[in-house]
């Protein structure tokens, strides 16, 4: 999805060209068909190939994926998800990132979220 969002629209070969360690052509084609079936992509025919484009803006797609992740793995708890990210990150989170997180938490409190 990232590759397609970056380009705007892409064929299977376009996606393959953008991946550093790509799977097979047929794997990419299958994934793009599944993403289309789920409503994330749509295609048009251009000569002998299909050209896919996203159905949602990247931010909306990220938000939807994150909501699904929260619901599926964290019972809808943003706090549990953040705690898991912090646990995984260990000491790789910079003081600046921690300050940013603290500001975001404070803004959420002020807004009653």
- Inform me whether the pLDDT recorded for 18 exceeds 90: yes
Q: What percent of the chain has pLDDT over 90?
A: 73
Band (68; pLDDT cuts 50, 70, 90): very high
**DSSP collapsed to 3 states, the chain:** CHHHHHHCCECHHHHHHHCCCCCCHHHHHHHHHHHHHCCCEEEEEECCEEEEEECCCHHHHHHHHHHHHHHHHHCCCHHHHHHHHHHHHHHHCCHHHHHHHHHHHHHHHHCCC
The per-residue pLDDT for range 25-38, each reduced to its tens digit, is 999 999 999 999 99
| Mean pLDDT of all residues belonging to the chain | 92
CA-to-CA distance for 110 and 113, rounded, in angstroms? Answer: 8
Query: Which residue ranges form the domains of the chain, and what is each CATH number?
Result: 2-54 (1.10.10.10), 58-110 (no CATH)
Q: What percent of the chain has pLDDT over 70?
A: 100
Cα angle, residue 35 at apex, residues 30 and 37 outer, rounded to 5°:
95
The per-residue pLDDT for range 39-52, each reduced to its tens digit, is 999 999 999 999 99
């Amino acid at each position: 999805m990232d590759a397609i969002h970056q380009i705007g629209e892409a064929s299977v070969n376009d996606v393959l060209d953008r991946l550093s360690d790509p799977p097979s052509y047929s794997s990419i084609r299958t994934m793009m068909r599944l993403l289309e079936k789920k409503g994330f992509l749509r295609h048009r025919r251009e000569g002998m190939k299909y050209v896919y484009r996203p159905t949602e803006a990247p931010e909306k797609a990220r938000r939807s994926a994150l909501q699904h992740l929260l619901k599926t793995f964290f019972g809808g708890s943003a706090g549990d998800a953040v705690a898991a990210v912090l646990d995984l990150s260990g000491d790789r989170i910079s003081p600046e990132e921690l300050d940013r997180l603290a500001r975001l938490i404070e803004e959420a409190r002020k807004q009653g979220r």
